[in-house]
Amino acid sequence: MLEVTSLGPQLRKRGKILQKSINGLTLWKNDFESMLILPNAHMVSCFRGVKAFLDGSLGSSSALFHEPYEGDPDNYGLQMTDLDSLLNRTLESDKSGLQVAIHAIGDKANDILLDMVDKIVDLNGAKDRRFRIEHAQHLAPGAANRFGKHGTIASVQPDHLLDDADHAWSKIGVERSERSSYTFRSLLDGGAQLAFGSDWPISDINPLQAIRSAVFRKPPGWEVPWIPAERLTLDESLKAHTMSAAYACFLDHAVGSLSEGKYADFVVVPSTSWDEFSSDLPGHVLATYVSGRQAYP
């Protein structure tokens, strides 16, 4: 791990790699302190925390729900991890200063993690831990309002809704899917830290496409948005994919906005107004700058 990250200065000098990456290793590793390799100005790659999986996915009918899948009354999804073990490992990681990110898609899986965050805060005390729930895809009534209590980050991927809109109803029914799916507006209004990502290579890595998905929520071939009440504004979506995404990685001091003292990472688009930019999404990029250096074209 140290050998890999120490290549950063050499690669940067040669112009071979410009992107920055934050990595998370499996939660089941034993040597927690050795994993905390924090970002600095010379690293291409660093290790900030750990990740675990609580449930599966909607497409495979393995996301963990309170109610069974449509047409499969014995299937509530898959709990992939022993909860006592998950709590103990999370407590150890949290004590060691590692950021914890746990995959949860179904509403029951998300409720379990929100309860776990309460326990972690009770046992380890309040601090700036930025606990991440990866996907937070389907939420039970009231769950969106719980994220803000301890600053839990909802790390979501807007492009996934483009696929799920066509089949979520067949998995969990129309009422449940429209009540619980990709509740971005509810999360923001409930005080959650909402951070966008791509989940690449599962979906498109283009951040402009993700911003479009969150603003319009209109899957290919659809004439109307899916769950329009959960749409975000352009400003909210841009913030989720820039400032809030940086915050979710403990990098808000260095990236995420064009501010004095931060890296000058930005793109140039042809639009001359927000309205033009919004109507042109995902549009195209004229130029990309990384740390103030033109990287594209």
Burial of 123 (0-12, 13-18, 19+ CB in 10 A): exposed
The percentage of the chain sitting over the pLDDT mark of 90, rounded to a whole number, equals 72
In-domain check, residue 53:
yes
pLDDT tens digit string along 119-133? 999 999 999 999 999
Backbone φ and ψ of 56, nearest 5°: -100, -130
- Section 60-67 average pLDDT: 98
In-domain check, residue 282:
no
User: How many domains does the chain divide into?
Assistant: 1
Predicted confidence (pLDDT) at residue 166 exceeds the cutoff of 60: yes
Helix (H) or strand (E) holding 48: strand 45-53
In-domain check, residue 291:
no
- Give the CATH number of the domain where residue 207 resides: 3.20.20.140
| Residues 193, 239 contacting (CB under 8 angstroms) | no
Q: What is the pLDDT of residue 262?
A: 92
In-domain check, residue 177:
yes
> DSSP string spanning 62-113?
-S--SSPBTTBTT------S-HHHHHHHHHHHHHTT-EEEEEE-SHHHHHHH
Q: What is the pLDDT of residue 279?
A: 84
In-domain check, residue 283:
no
Q: Would you state the structure tokens that stand for residue 8, as one six-digit string?
A: 């950063």
pLDDT tens digit string along 212-232? 999 999 999 999 999 999 999
Render the burial of 42-53: b for 16+ CB within 10 Å, e for the rest. ebbbbbbbbbbb
Domain of residue 94 covers 2-261
In-domain check, residue 85:
yes
pLDDT tens digit string along 257-278? 999 999 999 999 998 888 888 8
In-domain check, residue 272:
no
Q: What is the pLDDT of residue 130?
A: 97
Predicted confidence (pLDDT) at residue 33 exceeds the cutoff of 90: no
In-domain check, residue 273:
no
CA 268 remoteness from chain centre: 24
